[in-house]
Structure 1
Amino acid sequence: MPAMKSAFQKVALVGKYMNPEMREQILALAGFLLKQNIKVVIEESTAAQSDILGHEIVHIDAIGACADLAIVLGGDGTMLTAARALLDHDIPLVGVNRGRFGFLTDLSSESMLEGMAKILAGEYNIEQRMLLSASIQCDNEIVSHGYALNDVVVNKMGMSRLIELEVNIDEQFVHRQRSDGLIISTPTGTTAYSLSAGGPILHPALDAIAIVPICPHTLSNRPIAINASSKIDIVLVHTEDAAVHFDGQLHKALKQGDRVLVQRAEKTVSLLHPLGHSHYDMLREKLHWG
């Protein structure tokens, strides 16, 4: 295949954490890009786990400063990690699915090179995905902050009893609930944990946030969707052992009286899709709709 002129001059490759089995695919993709006169950098942990030498190696936090496209080989978890690491840089991501569902990874491993050839030729669309910004307040002081592309989850830990939460939206009291926890989800995250907990599927272009209770004690406590400009204040009224997670990763343990403040982040994540990508086609395929 002859070299083509591409808008991307330097591409970073990020592989699934602790998965050395994808070495051949990473090397195949790197070789393909080099033949197109595109410079290649390999994320540090990916190179170490796959025993890859002979390429420029960079830490994941440095990718945004040296590359203009990141290709993520793995599942949605790998994509989420890469997206958060590159938040401060306007660099699009494209995913090659090496996980299970792969709602965020468009290219299959079998058609990876064919798909990348089309993308390098300019046959793609860029979509902006919203993020959540969350702050943890202890004793009226902000002690931690983070971002989530999928969801912010406040939940009980281990075998502890139900936790009691107070939920306020835009300084208006909504309710108190006893449950296993609460999921605050972006539209992107509504096909993740939120879906398993009975939440709605929101189209990623929708300007909304889903609030989904986890196993509520009162069965009438149902998921709701609110405007993405809303500010959500969650108060730990009673808990023996609780925590807050960002995109499935433990962020901080919580105690009674702590607050989790969630709102839409100013930053967004750029996902690159091949031309012809359809969110509905993806849902039909991944969820086995008829």
Structure 2
Amino acid sequence: MQEFGPMNRLRHPRTIALVGKYHSPEIAESLRRLAEYLYERGASVFIERETAEHIGKLVDLSRWVTCGFNDIGAHADVAIVLGGDGTMLNAARRLARYCVPLVGVNQGRLGFMTDIAREDMLTCMDDLLDGRFTPESRMLLAAEVIRDGRELAENLALNDVVVDKGAIGRLIELELFIDGEFVYNMRSDGLIVSTPTGSTAYSLSAGGPILHPTLTGIALVPLCPHALSNRPVLVDDHADIELRLVQAADARIHFDGQVTLDLQRGDSVRLRRSEHSIRFLHPPGYSYFPMLRQKLHWSEKPKGP
């Protein structure tokens, strides 16, 4: 197989992996049509293994090579994700260390990260194969959970890492340290640590700021703090952030809302910018602010009688 460097991956992608949301007849048919179109254009097509196992029950994918994320990372020039933002978040965490660019085809609802509409999918592929997509780099968070001085777990997050009170309706108490310096003690439902990409997700609903995705700051957004003076704070992306659980009955940590771990009193969560980043590829004409206007319904006139 011909090897491609990072720039050739952008200019002349010839080996393309397809990743899809499971249990959806619409996505199954879209994925099959996309695979056939790319093959006809001379591209080598891989289907992610779990995608093939689930979608293969709905459409015939037997003619395509199936492989896991490790093989996709080793050989694919581009990965096309069909689904919503949740599907993209999962693929991004799995492929981050391989530097494989990602393209999103929106089959879900909002689609902040999957910016190609289903009906435009095939027409956009010519621009992709001819190298006319625009790259955009996004930072990730690296987090580790420390218990009794030992690492209990670690994971990446493209959107956010959330520490919250869990199922019990009792406030948790945590201490925040930045670069080893004590910042505050807070009683609340929890704290969202968000990247700029995640600023339009859970962080936004909790009153956090919208950050342009090309920024590299980290937003700390309290969840229902007991003291109303605890407001969202934006810190430098080089900051080392630590959360120490002082009081917690049923606390949990969530990575992109998809991976969850139970926490205990005394646990410490350490966060920093990951050494890896995600590269999205956008079709010609893409712009962040028109996308926000569309997704958040800005500038719409009120509906009257």
Q: Which interval holds the TM-score relative to the shorter structure?
A: over 0.9
Report 1:97-176 matches (<5 A): 97-176=106-185
Tell me the CA shift for residue 175 of structure 1.
0.8
Q: Which runs of 5+ in 2 are unaligned?
A: 1-10, 300-305
Specify which of 13, 17, 20 is matched with residue 12 of structure 1: 17
Specify which of 45, 50, 55 is matched with residue 45 of structure 1: 50
Normalising to structure 2: TM-score of the pair? 0.91
* Distance in 1 between residues matched to 2:110 and 2:153, nearest whole Å: 31
- Structure 1 contact 243–250 (Cα < 8 Å) conserved: no
Letter in 2 for 1:27: R
Q: What is the DSSP-based 3-state SS (H/G/I as helix, E as strand, rest coil) of the residue aligned with 1:218?
A: coil
Tell me the matched-pair count.
285
* Distance in 2 between residues matched to 1:189 and 1:211, nearest whole Å: 11
- Structure 1 contact 123–274 (Cα < 8 Å) conserved: yes
* Distance in 1 between residues matched to 2:257 and 2:110, nearest whole Å: 16
Question: Equivalent residue for 2:202?
Answer: 193
Report 1:238-277 matches (<5 A): 238-277=247-286
Give a deviation string over 1:106-147, Cα, whole Å, max 9, x none.
Answer: 100010011111121211111110000111110111221111
RMSD: 1.1
Question: Equivalent residue for 2:32?
Answer: 27
Tell me the CA shift for residue 240 of structure 1.
0.3
Specify which of 218, 223, 234 is matched with residue 214 of structure 1: 223
Give a deviation string over 1:29-73, Cα, whole Å, max 9, x none.
Answer: 011101110010111111121123221011233211121110000
* Distance in 2 between residues matched to 1:156 and 1:231, nearest whole Å: 23
Q: What is the DSSP-based 3-state SS (H/G/I as helix, E as strand, rest coil) of the residue aligned with 2:98?
A: coil
* Distance in 1 between residues matched to 2:181 and 2:263, nearest whole Å: 23
Question: Equivalent residue for 2:241?
Answer: 232
Specify which of 178, 184, 202 is matched with residue 187 of structure 2: 178
- Structure 1 contact 17–78 (Cα < 8 Å) conserved: no
Higher strand share: 1
* Distance in 2 between residues matched to 1:273 and 1:138, nearest whole Å: 41
Letter in 2 for 1:10: T
* Distance in 2 between residues matched to 1:90 and 1:173, nearest whole Å: 35
Tell me the CA shift for residue 154 of structure 1.
0.5
Letter in 2 for 1:16: K
Q: What is the DSSP-based 3-state SS (H/G/I as helix, E as strand, rest coil) of the residue aligned with 1:219?
A: coil
Moved over 6 A (4+): none
Letter in 2 for 1:168: F
Specify which of 47, 54, 77 is matched with residue 86 of structure 2: 77
- Structure 1 contact 160–240 (Cα < 8 Å) conserved: no
Q: 1:20 to 1:49 in 2, by over 3 A?
A: farther
Tell me the CA shift for residue 152 of structure 1.
0.6
* Distance in 2 between residues matched to 1:10 and 1:141, nearest whole Å: 41
Tell me the CA shift for residue 105 of structure 1.
0.7
